């Protein structure tokens, strides 16, 4: 048994990492009818503490009153993670020996997942950021990512919130011969959630000849009502 276990560990550590690199995009794989509709079908409502339920109620009331353009969208402010994963725009993965990076087409920062075995910095010295601080490791064929240090104030699909102490764990798993990338998100923060908020969207590999599109968001443009990504079809 001991020999078997040792052999298994050795085989795991010697295994080549799965190649996640390429362009990934959302598709309506559940009959949602729209990008928002897809998430409504697959993402459960976050189970929140009362003050966050009340905050969501106020936000819904504001939108129902017709105030649907958020300040951040109108002013082209930097999107916070995980917004790039909810957007219709594709995003790309770059993969080196030390890092997996997620490169957005929309106006936000590249997300760095450090794979070299480093730890998170001391929270007292960690500068919060829109993507947080992420470290990853391979668990067999699955990339497991742990993130902390998010700038407070962001949100997640399903009505979740992101605070200073929020932790995100993600699992990236390739399916269907590498054509599909299934992510499992789990947001946890006892000050916000009654229980961890988990959901599993899928992304699909773009055609081999696809290329990153430009992002257009000009806050000086009087017509700017939010973020618009040019989607000229090739």
Residues making contact with another protein (CB under 8 A): 17, 19, 21-22, 71, 75-78, 92, 94-99, 101, 103, 105, 107-110, 112, 114, 116, 118, 129-131, 209, 211-215, 218-220, 230, 232-234
Q: Which is nearer to another protein, 5 or 97 (CB)?
A: 97
Q: Which is nearer to another protein, 223 or 234 (CB)?
A: 234
Angle at 47 between CA 44 and CA 164, to 5 degrees: 110
Q: Which is nearer to another protein, 110 or 174 (CB)?
A: 110
Beta-carbon count within 10 A of 192 CB: 20
Shortest CB 50 distance to another protein, Å: 31
Q: Which is nearer to another protein, 33 or 121 (CB)?
A: 121
Distance CA 197, CA 44 (A): 8
Q: Which is nearer to another protein, 42 or 103 (CB)?
A: 103
Residue 174 Cα distances to 73, 79, 177, 219, 231, angstroms:
32, 26, 7, 38, 26
Enter the DSSP assignment of 20: -
Shortest CB 178 distance to another protein, Å: 11
Shortest CB 129 distance to another protein, Å: 5
Q: Which is nearer to another protein, 6 or 225 (CB)?
A: 225
Enter the DSSP assignment of 193: B
Name the residue among 64, 66, 109, 104 with its Cα closest to residue 87. Answer: 104
Shortest CB 91 distance to another protein, Å: 11
Shortest CB 36 distance to another protein, Å: 25
Distance CA 164, CA 49 (A): 16
Shortest CB 64 distance to another protein, Å: 25
The size of the chain, in residues, is: 234
Q: What would the two tokens of residue 219 be?
A: 């806050």
Sequence-ordered list of residues with C-beta below 8 angstroms from that of 103, at least 6 positions apart, any chain: 91, 92, 93, 94, 110, 212
């Amino acid at each position: 048994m001991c020999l078997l276990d040792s052999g298994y560990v050795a085989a795991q550590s010697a295994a080549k990492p799965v190649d996640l690199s390429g362009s990934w995009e959302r598709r309506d794989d559940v009959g949602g009818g729209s990008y928002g509709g897809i998430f409504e079908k697959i993402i459960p409502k976050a189970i929140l503490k009362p003050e966050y339920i009340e905050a969501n109620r106020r936000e819904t009331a504001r939108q129902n009153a017709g105030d649907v353009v958020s300040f951040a969208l109108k002013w082209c402010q930097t999107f916070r993670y995980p917004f790039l994963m909810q957007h219709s725009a594709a995003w790309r993965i770059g993969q080196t020996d030390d890092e997996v990076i997620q490169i957005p087409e929309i106006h936000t920062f590249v997300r760095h997942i450090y794979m070299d075995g480093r730890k998170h910095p001391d929270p007292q010295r960690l500068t919060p950021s829109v993507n947080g601080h992420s470290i990853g490791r391979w668990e067999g064929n699955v990339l497991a990512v742990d993130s902390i240090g998010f700038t407070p104030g962001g949100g997640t699909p399903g009505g979740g919130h992101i605070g200073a102490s929020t932790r995100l764990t993600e699992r990236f798993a390739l399916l269907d011969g590498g054509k599909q990338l299934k992510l499992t998100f789990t947001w946890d923060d006892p000050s916000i959630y009654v229980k961890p908020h988990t959901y599993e969207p899928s992304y699909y590999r773009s055609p081999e000849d696809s290329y990153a599109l430009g992002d257009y968001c000009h806050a000086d443009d009087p017509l700017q009502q939010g973020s618009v990504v040019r989607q000229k079809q090739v």
